[in-house]
Structure 1
Amino acid sequence: MKTNKWLIFMLFVALLILLGPFLVIFFASFEPTSTLRFPTTGFTLFWFKKVIAMPMFQKSFILSLRLAMLSSLLALLFGVPVGYVTARYDFRMKAFVELVTTLPVIIPGMVAGLALLRFFVLLNIFKIETTLLIGHTAIVLPYVVRSTISSLVNFPVSIEEAARSLGATPLRNFFLIVLPNIRVGIVSAFILTFITSFNNVPISLFLTGPGVSTLPIVMMTYMEYYYNPSIAALSTLLIGATLAVVLLAQKAFGISKLL
């Protein structure tokens, strides 16, 4: 088949748009001077050592990691059963449930963050970290529900019916038949929700408070006062860690078709 030069050119432009900003950040993180610039004037690992040793980044990284892990697990706990019920059963409020579980994705993040802020201010019963956890769980829950529904589309109902005909209870059927067969979708949903929660800005921007800030918010605040390659170095580390997790998961579970 003859190669189309225009298609090759469009592919190159698309790759440049997608990868260009990341390449700029990557090379800028090795800049030896105290100014963030590209192209770089040399090579140094000083900024990587600096951001790793800074207490403000360490504390916010641990908080973001904990929030991402807990919110992803909670989203799986609630989202998988909701996705299963939505995919397998017909009930009167089904359309409403589908709409509600999609709202956090449809509504702009800043609007959702402001709404959550006012809601928690009115309640005034939760700590800041708890409100962050609830907010992050709410925004990542739709990804779990949709991933579960998509996984169940490719899983024949006849297998569940066969298990029930052999005496399996609905609960046993769900844990021993359904979950093992949709584990790839669940793993991909966990990775997607973890990354989404860890990198979230709009919700965290409204729900953080004194002494409690996630890593993206700390990075934004830091850039307001300092324009050195520190943030570029930290971004490079985060990009590398994300790619490593996705590649390992793809190798172990074969999730490339679902992510």
Structure 2
Amino acid sequence: MARTTNWVVLGLTLTFLIGPFIIIIFAGASAGESLAFPPAGLSLKWYAKVFTVESFRQSFMLSMFLAVFGTLAALLIGVPAAYALNRYKLPGDETIRTIVAAPIIVPGIIVGLALLRYLVVPLDFTVTMALFFAHTALVLPYAVRVVSSSLHNLRADMEEAAVLLGCSRLQAFTKVVLPNIRGGVLAAFILGFVTSFNQVPVSLFLSGPGVRTLPIDMLAYMEITYDPSVAALSALLAFMSLAIVFAAERLLGFSRYV
């Protein structure tokens, strides 16, 4: 009886988690002209149409730019910050960790509104600059936390041995510390990339005319067109995210860092 109950609970959990994914796959493969599930028939024409919509192509390139370069900028800040928090006893270090984690804790709508009111409007940032700054700030906590986890598992005496053998602190960091935490840095990049690419609440506040990330462009597209192409694009993005995470798990052991 207990075993049957466990299988039922497992099946319901998987249905809850995978169900929406299956729905968008088949809704995007509908042969009809409107978004519906179950579809009246099956066709790949909406998956093909995704690549012909100009706004999707432009917003995809912007999302890729923000995800790649925003994450790299976050790592440039986050790796030294994680190193300082792990290797030195700083006054108020727990408070610093809480502040760094604030973009994760605070709802995205509040973060977006605050950035719009106190950064974009007073400083007259362009839409692209505002989005880049916001995505970097949102990814930064993940960079610090994941890299901190790698540094925590790295023996500090390895670095001290390099210093005793004649390396400067910078040389010890670049030749000993960084090569040993490269898995964590790559894991932080992948996590930041996926988080930035799929970001909605903050991007919703900071997007402007003609400059929108892909998720925001999809929302705008659905306001005027209710065809299955949005479901097809959603399925493609879900496959892309799954492929990235799966590859990271196979190559890096992604689950060890997050």
Calculate the TM-score normalised by the size of structure 2.
Answer: 0.95
CA drift at 1:117: 0.1
CA distance in 1, matches of 2:146, 2:190: 11
Distance 1:95 1:258, change over 3 A: closer
CA drift at 1:29: 0.9
Unmatched 5+ stretches in structure 1: none
CA distance in 2, matches of 1:38, 1:205: 27
**4+ residue segments displaced more than 4 Å:** none
CA distance in 1, matches of 2:223, 2:65: 26
CA distance in 2, matches of 1:228, 1:218: 14
1:224 corresponds to: 223
Task: Describe the SS at the equivalent of 2:51.
Answer: helix
90-99 or 185-194: bigger deviation:
90-99
Residue identity in the other structure for 2:169:
P
Task: Describe the SS at the equivalent of 1:4.
Answer: helix
CA drift at 1:131: 0.7
89-98 or 132-141: bigger deviation:
89-98
CA distance in 1, matches of 2:130, 2:121: 12
1:140 corresponds to: 139
CA distance in 2, matches of 1:235, 1:149: 33
Matches within 5 A, 1:35-114: 35-114=34-113
RMSD: 1.5
Task: Describe the SS at the equivalent of 1:31.
Answer: coil
CA drift at 1:81: 0.7
CA drift at 1:36: 1.4
CA drift at 1:12: 1.3
Aligned identity (percent) is 45
Matches within 5 A, 1:12-23: 12-23=11-22
2:208 corresponds to: 209
Distance 1:182 1:3, change over 3 A: farther
CA drift at 1:254: 3.0
Unmatched 5+ stretches in structure 2: none
Calculate the TM-score normalised by the size of structure 1.
Answer: 0.95
2:167 corresponds to: 168
CA distance in 1, matches of 2:4, 2:156: 47
CA drift at 1:121: 3.8
Spell out, residue by residue over 1:3-25, the C-alpha distance to the aligned partner (whole angstroms, 9 max, x if none). Answer: 82222222111111111100111
How many residues are paired up? 258
Spell out, residue by residue over 1:43-85, the C-alpha distance to the aligned partner (whole angstroms, 9 max, x if none). Answer: 1111011111110100110011101111100011000110111
Distance 1:150 1:226, change over 3 A: same
